[in-house]
Chains A and B, each alone.
Chain A
């Protein structure tokens, strides 16, 4: 039995081992987010960080659930992953013929994605980290003012999602060496739930308006960036146990500060 396991698994683990290649991103003291945060005048500070060059693949995730059985389909508690979790795989430890090892893993919940990243000593990128990375194109770190950058995203949205997912790394890398931030799958971010929390209403007279506490709000008033706003709206509609057929993830990690 054990020999059979290694025959099946070793080739997959071999391909997975090449996958987590990390790319350094410089961050910015005043990155202009599409989310026009009122409390920070629309600018966010993004510390230098590392991002996976590729989305996490089925093979990567299979290696993870082998090492962490509590995240196998059928074993992961319902509170962390809904029924559709990894349902496109043939079995708990088997991708099957219809699922390619190098396709991005999808149908994973936020909890499962977060657990994967924690197992790599990493975390899901914050929205700011993701947005900073995704502003790049093949030649520029911030290509967002170029209409062709937006057109590319919108043309992906227009593509039917029934088509099989392309394998990771088949697109042109951006100027930082990151692949597939646009055009392949949606990606979880760590603070997916934090983006559209608004703080406008604090009147105590109306109980329906007492949803929010604190000062400052997010104004999403940049019509030019509605391609990115669509992504925010989609992520904000999710619960942490949700999975979808075109929602995957990649991980980010902090850069260890090396003293000179």
Chain B
């Protein structure tokens, strides 16, 4: 077959079989390679690959968590607040529950409303147990369900680029973001080809 034609045909075949036609194949090191189906706080189903196009903050949590998980939301909000309005508008945020048995759509929705999360950026998501295990595995999050319904888990925020590749992570939680991590978020949100501007002063 013509060497030039072959990639074009492959691309066509890929686009034709995908409901959401994508311009190019995902990078091999993208966590969006996971084909599991997730659903958000409104019950709307999605696949990770549909979240291409914007850098994204990702973390795992569960809604009944008493200790660290509220801090995870605080930490992401901390990053959000440290950004300029135009930077914020380029960022997506995805928090995935590790407790699919109890975190149904209503539970996600309840936390979403209670914490007043901005629906243009934030998604709280769930998936089945097998999908969650794989999602944790691509991130490198470790967790174990305890008999009392709580979980032991490592906590971290992850920054993905627009193609779903891990750029940075931070295990430091709290309303004041880790400076190196915040710098990585800013760099990812900087318009292509332009130098990163100095941090905005409010």
> In chain A between 187 and 215, which residues have their CB closer than 8 angstroms to a CB of chain B?
190-191, 193-195, 197-199, 202, 204, 207-208, 210-215
Are B29 and A79 touching (Cβ within 8 A)? yes
Nearest neighbor of A193 in chain B, beta-carbon distance = B142
Picked from A190, A204, A216, the residue with its CB within 8 Å of the CB of B133 is A190
* B195 adjacent to chain A (CB < 8 Å): no
Picked from B31, B67, B142, B148, the residue with its CB within 8 Å of the CB of A202 is B67
Nearest neighbor of B164 in chain A, beta-carbon distance = A79
Size of the B side of the interface (Cβ < 8 Å), in residues, is 34
Question: What's the minimum C-beta distance from A148 to chain B, rounded to whole angstroms?
Answer: 32
In the complex with contacts A199-B152, A214-B146, A214-B151, A193-B173 CB distance below 8 A = no
With a cutoff of 8 Å between Cβ atoms, the chain B residues found around residue A79 in the complex are 28-31, 33, 138
Are A212 and B172 touching (Cβ within 8 A)? no
Roughly how many angstroms separate A195 CA and B31 CA in the complex, as a whole number?
23
> In chain B between 52 and 73, which residues have their CB closer than 8 angstroms to a CB of chain A?
65, 67-69, 71
> In chain B between 123 and 150, which residues have their CB closer than 8 angstroms to a CB of chain A?
130, 133-134, 136-138, 140, 142-144, 146-148, 150
With a cutoff of 8 Å between Cβ atoms, the chain B residues found around residue A199 in the complex are 146, 152
Nearest neighbor of B75 in chain A, beta-carbon distance = A210
Give 1 or 0 for each of B139-176: 1 = CB within 8 Å of chain A CB. Answer: 01011101110111111000000000000000111100
* A111 adjacent to chain B (CB < 8 Å): yes
Are B172 and A210 touching (Cβ within 8 A)? yes
Question: What's the minimum C-beta distance from B58 to chain A, rounded to whole angstroms?
Answer: 14
* A40 adjacent to chain B (CB < 8 Å): yes
With a cutoff of 8 Å between Cβ atoms, the chain B residues found around residue A208 in the complex are 172
With a cutoff of 8 Å between Cβ atoms, the chain A residues found around residue B26 in the complex are 77
Picked from B29, B137, B148, B154, the residue with its CB within 8 Å of the CB of A39 is B148
* A157 adjacent to chain B (CB < 8 Å): no
Are B171 and A211 touching (Cβ within 8 A)? yes
Roughly how many angstroms separate A197 CA and B142 CA in the complex, as a whole number?
7
Nearest neighbor of A80 in chain B, beta-carbon distance = B33
Are B134 and A111 touching (Cβ within 8 A)? yes
Question: What's the minimum C-beta distance from B157 to chain A, rounded to whole angstroms?
Answer: 12
With a cutoff of 8 Å between Cβ atoms, the chain A residues found around residue B142 in the complex are 193-194, 197
Are A77 and B29 touching (Cβ within 8 A)? yes
Picked from B28, B29, B69, B137, the residue with its CB within 8 Å of the CB of A193 is B137
Roughly how many angstroms separate A216 CA and B150 CA in the complex, as a whole number?
9
Roughly how many angstroms separate A218 CA and B28 CA in the complex, as a whole number?
36
* A114 adjacent to chain B (CB < 8 Å): yes
Nearest neighbor of B166 in chain A, beta-carbon distance = A79
Question: What's the minimum C-beta distance from A99 to chain B, rounded to whole angstroms?
Answer: 25
Roughly how many angstroms separate A235 CA and B131 CA in the complex, as a whole number?
21
Roughly how many angstroms separate A218 CA and B144 CA in the complex, as a whole number?
10
Are A213 and B67 touching (Cβ within 8 A)? yes
* A78 adjacent to chain B (CB < 8 Å): yes
Question: What's the minimum C-beta distance from A33 to chain B, rounded to whole angstroms?
Answer: 12
Roughly how many angstroms separate A218 CA and B146 CA in the complex, as a whole number?
10
With a cutoff of 8 Å between Cβ atoms, the chain B residues found around residue A232 in the complex are none
Roughly how many angstroms separate A93 CA and B137 CA in the complex, as a whole number?
27
Q: Which of B26, B67, B173 has the most CB of A within 10 A?
A: B67
Are B155 and A198 touching (Cβ within 8 A)? no
Give 1 or 0 for each of A76-92: 1 = CB within 8 Å of chain B CB. Answer: 01111000000000000
Roughly how many angstroms separate A11 CA and B126 CA in the complex, as a whole number?
44
* A217 adjacent to chain B (CB < 8 Å): yes
* A240 adjacent to chain B (CB < 8 Å): yes
Roughly how many angstroms separate A118 CA and B146 CA in the complex, as a whole number?
25
Q: Which 8 A-B pairs have the closest CB atoms?
A: A240-B137, A213-B68, A214-B150, A194-B144, A78-B28, A199-B152, A39-B146, A197-B152
User: Can you name 22 A-B residue pairings with CB atoms under 8 Å?
Assistant: A39-B146, A40-B147, A77-B28, A111-B137, A114-B134, A118-B130, A190-B133, A191-B144, A193-B136, A198-B152, A199-B146, A202-B68, A207-B174, A212-B68, A213-B68, A214-B65, A214-B150, A215-B146, A217-B152, A218-B144, A240-B137, A240-B138
